[in-house]
Amino acid sequence: MKERRKAERLKELNEITISVTSEENNIPKKKFLYNYSNDISVIGANIQSNILLPVDTLLKIDFKLKTLVEQITALGKVKWIKVLIEDKSYKAGVEFVDTPEEAVNKLKFYITQIRRLHRTDKKSSFLKCFFLFFQFIQYFNP
């Protein structure tokens, strides 16, 4: 089967907080904790939640990426939904929309650095985290 994704995804589990921004769909506008992303790219993410998020629901997603000090916030729209456990667990494909360029650049940088670190797997985990943190600070605080 031919890959249809427009951007390379990083398969990595990360904590997220989602807030529904849509007016419709009868979902309360509040933050939902205990969610996570299964993978992420500069144009979208695969998320898992205990809330059924209908297709076209608009979300604000705060990503707490493992090796970054600050979180990245993106706006997204649910493109598809899959029920994992009825009334308990759901998976959704989210496409980023109207996401600030700074957030996209941080995601792009993060994905690139993680891929680079996975290729040089001889370093210890501590050194990897330190290296990524140092690169992030240099890149975004010239």
List pLDDT tens digits, range 34-79: 688 888 888 999 999 888 888 999 998 888 877 777 788 899 999 9
Answer yes or no: are the C-beta atoms of 38 and 91 closer than 8 Å. yes
Q: Is residue 19 part of a domain?
A: yes
Q: Is residue 113 part of a domain?
A: yes
List phi, psi (to 5°) of 25: 75, 5
Q: How many domains does the chain have?
A: 1
Which pTM value belongs to this model?
A: 0.73
Q: Is residue 69 part of a domain?
A: yes
Give the CATH number, domain containing residue 25: 2.40.10.220
Domain ranges, residue 59: 10-140
Q: Is residue 3 part of a domain?
A: no
Q: What is the token pair recorded at 48?
A: 């898992």
